[in-house]
Amino acid sequence: MHTFEFLRPPDPAAAIAAAAQSKTAQQGADVRFIGGGTTLIDLMKLNVETPNRVLDINRLPFDKIEPTPDGGLKIGATVRNSDLAYHPTVQRDYSVLTQALLQGASAQIRNMATVGGNLLQRTRCVYFRDTAMACNKREPGSGCPAITGHNRTLAILGASDHCIATNPSDMCVAMAALEATIHIQGSKGTRAVAFGDFHLLPGDTPQRESVLEPGDLITHVTLSPPISGSKHLYLKLRDRASYEFALASAAVVLTIVGGNIQRARIALGGVGTKPWRSPEAEVALTGNAANDATFSKAAEAALRDAKPQTENRFKVELAKRCLIHALRTAAAS
Ligand SMILES: Cc1cc2nc3c(=O)[nH]c(=O)nc-3n(C[C@H](O)[C@H](O)[C@H](O)COP(=O)(O)OP(=O)(O)OC[C@H]3O[C@@H](n4cnc5c(N)ncnc54)[C@H](O)[C@@H]3O)c2cc1C
Ligand code: SF4
């Protein structure tokens, strides 16, 4: 691993000022914040990330989970994944988030991993993590060997000719279904970004994964007030039962009245280049009977634009079955 400076900025303003000196907040950043380090340190050991300065944000005042005045929830960026998963309000009112968090990584990693770091975790594409290989995300313009190579775990939704990498986060899929808002403090002030606008599609700039600019610090995430009587479910399908990333997953938040679906929020994981909200599935569900026929139509709609690669055609059917099973289980709960 290359040498770097490790700094503990005393307050958010100092952290932002130091990070604003970076040329980019995306791949190749020369200054990086560190939360739990479970993504960043791994990638630094592999020389995929080579920041000259690492700014420890763990002592900044972003470690609280608090109610908001409107009845929602404010989650600090350095809150650990475990603390969020087991928070009583999250377990009671936003259980899709608890379920998604607890199906991610391992207990040890969840005890370290922060909310801000999870939002920005990087793809597990093997070429991205191997500096001996070409990779447009790591080195723009070098090519994408995954398109003709090992792509079994990669994306079938949102891919481009330049990158087909999957976003690997479980937490983000639940947050997409919960329509979370991400709050950012930067050198030009504060701003709030709707969850669906935070991550970027690869297009022809796969090295850009989010809207963050140099100096931008995620301070917290907010969730809207819970919908009374809503049913929450996160289903994750993977090669082994624990400590493995999703091949396909579904986050489902449903309100069902008298057997009819009044409101549906649906997101998919393991299949998209970003956490994949599916408005198509939501339209197919809303106003219709909560039964298998409706669930199948929603799954067809969600995967209609899927473009499988050489090794991952199976994901199209897997993702459909994952969503149908999640909907059926949620509706019956
Ligand atoms: C073996 C293994 C298995 C895993 N399995 C899963 C899994 O099944 N499902 C899953 O979802 N995840 C899994 N993960 C990934 C894990 O969830 C992430 O590594 C973790 O959430 C990252 O959080 P962190 O705080 O450690 O991030 P860090 O490594 O500290 O940071 C990650 C990135 O975010 C940036 N950053 C951190 N905080 C902020 C902030 N507040 N503002 C701006 N930028 C910030 C950092 O600069 C860095 O670029 C696994 C990881 C490992 C190592
Ligand atoms: S899929 Fe993306 S991350 Fe993987 S090799 Fe291609 S460009 Fe790199």
Q: Does residue 299's CB lie within 6 angstroms of at least one atom of ligand 2?
A: no
d(C-alpha 194, C-alpha 208), whole Å: 18
Closest ligand to C-alpha of residue 163 is 2
Ligand 1 nearest atom to the CA of residue 120, by list position: 34
Q: Does residue 127's CB lie within 6 angstroms of at least one atom of ligand 2?
A: yes
Distance 167 CA to ligand 1 centre (A): 12
Q: Does residue 125's CB lie within 6 angstroms of at least one atom of ligand 2?
A: yes
Distance 116 CA to ligand 1 centre (A): 8
Give per-residue pLDDT as tens, 315-326. Answer: 999 999 999 999
Distance 109 CA to ligand 1 centre (A): 9
Residue minimizing CA distance to atom 8 of ligand 2: 135
What is 78-120 written as a DSSP string? Answer: T-BHHHHHT-HHHHHH-HHHHHHHHTSS-HHHHHH-BHHHHHT
pLDDT confidence of residue 242: 87
Sequence-distant (6+) residues with CB within 8 A of 108 are none
Of 71, 90, 70, 72, the C-alpha closest to 81 is 90
Distance 229 CA to ligand 1 centre (A): 32
Q: Does residue 145's CB lie within 6 angstroms of at least one atom of ligand 2?
A: yes
Q: If you average pLDDT over residues 273-300, what whole number do you get?
A: 98
Give per-residue pLDDT as tens, 98-146. Answer: 999 999 999 999 999 999 999 999 999 999 999 999 999 999 999 999 9
Distance 253 CA to ligand 2 centre (A): 32
Q: Does residue 306's CB lie within 6 angstroms of at least one atom of ligand 2?
A: no
Of 204, 48, 52, the C-alpha closest to 126 is 48
226 three-state secondary structure? coil
Enter the DSSP assignment of 245. -
What residue type is 176 in one-letter code?
A
281 three-state secondary structure? helix
Q: Are 302 and 142 in contact (CB under 8 A)?
A: no
Give per-residue pLDDT as tens, 148-186. Answer: 999 999 999 999 999 999 999 999 999 999 999 999 999
Ligand 2 nearest atom to the CA of residue 155, by list position: 1
Q: If you average pLDDT over residues 306-322, what whole number do you get?
A: 98
Sequence-distant (6+) residues with CB within 8 A of 258 are none
Q: Does residue 165's CB lie within 6 angstroms of at least one atom of ligand 2?
A: yes
Residue minimizing CA distance to atom 27 of ligand 1: 117
Give per-residue pLDDT as tens, 55-68. Answer: 999 999 999 999 99
